[in-house]
Each structure stands twice: as C-alpha cells, then as structure tokens.
Homo-oligomer: A and B are copies of this chain.
Amino acid sequence: MTENNTVYIGNKPVMNYVLAVVKEFSNGAKEVTIKARGKAISRAVDAVEVSRNRFITDVKINDIKIGTERIASEKGESNVSIIEIVITKQL
C-alpha cells in the first residue's frame, strides 16, 4: 500500500488509506503522494479529503495530475485513467 511516501489506493475501505497517509506524516514525511487508477480514483479523493479535514488539518494540496496508462489484461491491452495527488505539510 505504501512505498517512498506514496500511498497506492486499491479496494480497501477509505480509512485504511487515511491511516496510511497519517502514518507517513507521523513518520516524518513532509510530502505524501496518493496514487490511484480507474474506479479507485474516487476513493483517492475521499482519502485525501478525510485526511486533511479530520486528521492532518495543516496539509495543503500541492499538485493534482491526471493521465492515462496502458495496462495489459487477459482481454488484451486497455487504457485506464490515473490520478496523482501530492499533499504537503504547511511549514
């Protein structure tokens, strides 16, 4: 779920990812990136919003990028949307 201050959003409940984000900052991270694909994009936005509204209120959204990735599946290659949200502790 977490690697190099990056939290990857999957199919778990939102709170799992909120806790992962909070843990990154409590471990001293100044900046955390939240990444998601496809239907998990909505959950990524939820995780960021819950994190900054209820748990780490002194973070700001530094950057939001969206894009398209090609992924291979049994049914062949297909496109999937991606999002990257970078949140930073306000100094």
Which positions in A face B, CB cutoff 8 Å? 38-42, 45-46, 48-49, 53, 61, 64-68, 79, 81, 83, 85
Contact = CB atoms under 8 A, between A and B. Distances in A.
Contact of A81 (B45, B66, B68): B45
Nearest to A61: B66
B64 A49 contact: no
Copies of chain A in the complex: 2
A59 B69 CA distance: 18
Given A41-B41, A41-B42, A42-B40, A49 B83 contact: no
26 contacts: A38-B42, A39-B39, A39-B42, A40-B42, A41-B41, A41-B42, A41-B45, A42-B42, A42-B81, A45-B66, A45-B81, A45-B83, A46-B81, A48-B66, A49-B66, A49-B67, A49-B68, A49-B79, A49-B81, A53-B68, A53-B79, A61-B66, A64-B64, A64-B65, A64-B66, A66-B85
